[in-house]
Copies of this chain bind each other. A is one copy, B any other.
């Protein structure tokens, strides 16, 4: 370890945080005003640099996170794809939501309508709390950073303590990509340490924050953001159990397939995914239980080490809490570095939801046996806010309809015959959901719509053409999509 890398993992001091926040605020206007083509160029340049440095970054990430090489290679690919996708979002211009009302003396409201032109602008410096479980995709150059930079906001990342060296290395690439396009270095900042994160969150220059992590940690930060003299939007993605409901038919006809899919979903990335299924409801006595026990007995499912000691300790505590419940038994697994299956009944969950609807962040899940579709539905309606709810079924019947309705009422993403762990970065993706899944159910943290979190609308009334931004000028020199007098974008 060189002198400079030792220095890199020291906590950022309060004075340094203040300087970074002030510099970000000073850089905000120039970054927001940079041409959309240049903003896109920065995002693509960053993706190119990450790709070019993969051979150095991947081993660094492996050393710091214990994640496997294939997993990290895939994650890096996802990360650079995401940056390029947001570059495209910037160029498309839909995110500006440009609306133009021409002056109308006969506007039926009863008073003439003035010339009104509305577009989204950057909210200001955004603070992103990096997650430990995705050292690329939800970290320094991850989704929140891509979305905020795309929106025209400077970004400050509070690095995850789980991969400080990698954070620092990626941070250098962000600075290089900005510099190449002539953007100020204040457009991006990186801070280390819990206190530094808190100080940045309460700094007057910070305009919004995004977070991915635990419910307790996220709620504490949300509370800080809300209690500021000037409260700011806090987009927290907190806890989710991601329940899976297996209907009687599916359990009968596809026991082996469901059993093996479940083991993969629970053990992939050592279960350290915010979309890992933590509760799987299966009919009492179904073959799935036997299939699972057999699969795991024949060949324990290796999960690898957890990300770090703090995550491992949290996992052990969470598992112990659930396992200590009088109605919970060990079904299979649970040796060191091995997936763990616990079992209970729907009745037990319904009568003690606080104890049993409890996220275990790691390779464990709770199998819940139910007696009939009435009990299954009751359970589906009781699980609270979730990122995902997955349904396995073979028929479109009343149960399927009722389960789907319950799932839509409680989750941001509803899946049929699919495991929730795969999370595609797309236009129609939704990664969010009612509390405690997130603190902002109206938003998503994955997919192109994630950019909306960092924008605010401004309307220009009767402003002379020459003072309007190009996006709002009558001749539309940038050809951005615009709705005019309520008609759809064109």
Which of A's residues lie within 8 Å of B, judged by CB?
A: 29, 74, 77-78, 81-82, 88, 92, 94, 97, 99-101, 107-111, 113-114, 116-118, 121, 123, 222-223, 226-227, 230-231, 233, 385, 396, 400-401, 404-405, 408-409, 411-418, 422, 424-430, 432, 434-436, 439-442, 444, 448-449, 452-453, 455-464, 466-467, 481, 483, 485-486, 488-489
Could you tell me if A233 and B29 are in contact, using CB atoms closer than 8 angstroms? no
Could you tell me if A442 and B233 are in contact, using CB atoms closer than 8 angstroms? yes
Q: Indicate the member of A400, A418, A458, A459 with the most B CB atoms within 10 Å.
A: A459
Could you tell me if A461 and B118 are in contact, using CB atoms closer than 8 angstroms? no
* Selected contact of A459 from candidates B412, B464, B486, CB within 8 Å: B412
Q: How near does chain B come to A440, taking the closest CB pair, in angstroms?
A: 7
Contact residues in B for A396 (Cβ distance below 8 Å): 464, 466-467
A463-B404 contact in complex given A78-B109, A101-B427, A412-B458, C-beta closer than 8 Å: yes
Contact residues in B for A439 (Cβ distance below 8 Å): 231
Q: Indicate the member of A81, A401, A463, A488 with the most B CB atoms within 10 Å.
A: A463
Could you tell me if A114 and B418 are in contact, using CB atoms closer than 8 angstroms? yes
A441 and B440 CA atoms in complex are apart in Å by 14
Contact residues in B for A400 (Cβ distance below 8 Å): 467
Q: Which chain B residue shows the least CB distance to A448?
A: B486
Could you tell me if B418 and A461 are in contact, using CB atoms closer than 8 angstroms? yes
The number of times this chain is found in the oligomer is 2
* Selected contact of A110 from candidates B77, B444, B466, CB within 8 Å: B77
Contact residues in B for A424 (Cβ distance below 8 Å): 101, 107, 109, 111, 113-114, 116
Could you tell me if A430 and B412 are in contact, using CB atoms closer than 8 angstroms? no
Could you tell me if B444 and A457 are in contact, using CB atoms closer than 8 angstroms? yes
Could you tell me if A458 and B107 are in contact, using CB atoms closer than 8 angstroms? no
Contact residues in B for A99 (Cβ distance below 8 Å): 427-428, 449
Could you tell me if B222 and A412 are in contact, using CB atoms closer than 8 angstroms? no
Q: How near does chain B come to A418, taking the closest CB pair, in angstroms?
A: 5
A485 and B429 CA atoms in complex are apart in Å by 11
A459 and B412 CA atoms in complex are apart in Å by 6
* Selected contact of A422 from candidates B94, B114, B227, B485, CB within 8 Å: B114
Could you tell me if A412 and B456 are in contact, using CB atoms closer than 8 angstroms? yes
* Selected contact of A467 from candidates B94, B404, B466, CB within 8 Å: B404
* Selected contact of A460 from candidates B77, B111, B414, B440, CB within 8 Å: B414
A418 and B441 CA atoms in complex are apart in Å by 37
Could you tell me if A459 and B413 are in contact, using CB atoms closer than 8 angstroms? yes
Q: Which chain B residue shows the least CB distance to A111?
A: B422
Contact residues in B for A92 (Cβ distance below 8 Å): 486
Could you tell me if A483 and B427 are in contact, using CB atoms closer than 8 angstroms? yes
Q: How near does chain B come to A359, taking the closest CB pair, in angstroms?
A: 16
Q: How near does chain B come to A393, taking the closest CB pair, in angstroms?
A: 9
Could you tell me if A458 and B414 are in contact, using CB atoms closer than 8 angstroms? yes
Could you tell me if B408 and A117 are in contact, using CB atoms closer than 8 angstroms? no
Q: How near does chain B come to A4, taking the closest CB pair, in angstroms?
A: 33
Could you tell me if A413 and B110 are in contact, using CB atoms closer than 8 angstroms? no
Q: How near does chain B come to A254, taking the closest CB pair, in angstroms?
A: 15
A442-B456 contact in complex given A422-B111, A488-B489, C-beta closer than 8 Å: yes
Could you tell me if B123 and A108 are in contact, using CB atoms closer than 8 angstroms? no
Question: Other than the known A233-B442, A415-B461, what 12 A-B pairs have Cβ atoms closer than 8 Å?
Answer: A29-B409, A81-B108, A81-B110, A100-B428, A116-B424, A222-B231, A231-B439, A233-B441, A396-B464, A428-B459, A442-B456, A444-B457
A411-B458 contact in complex given A109-B81, A114-B424, C-beta closer than 8 Å: yes
Q: Which chain B residue shows the least CB distance to A449?
A: B457
A456-B428 contact in complex given A77-B109, A415-B463, A461-B418, C-beta closer than 8 Å: no
Could you tell me if A463 and B416 are in contact, using CB atoms closer than 8 angstroms? yes
A94-B458 contact in complex given A424-B109, A426-B113, A428-B100, C-beta closer than 8 Å: no
Q: How near does chain B come to A474, taking the closest CB pair, in angstroms?
A: 14
* Selected contact of A488 from candidates B94, B108, B413, B416, CB within 8 Å: B94
Contact residues in B for A385 (Cβ distance below 8 Å): 230
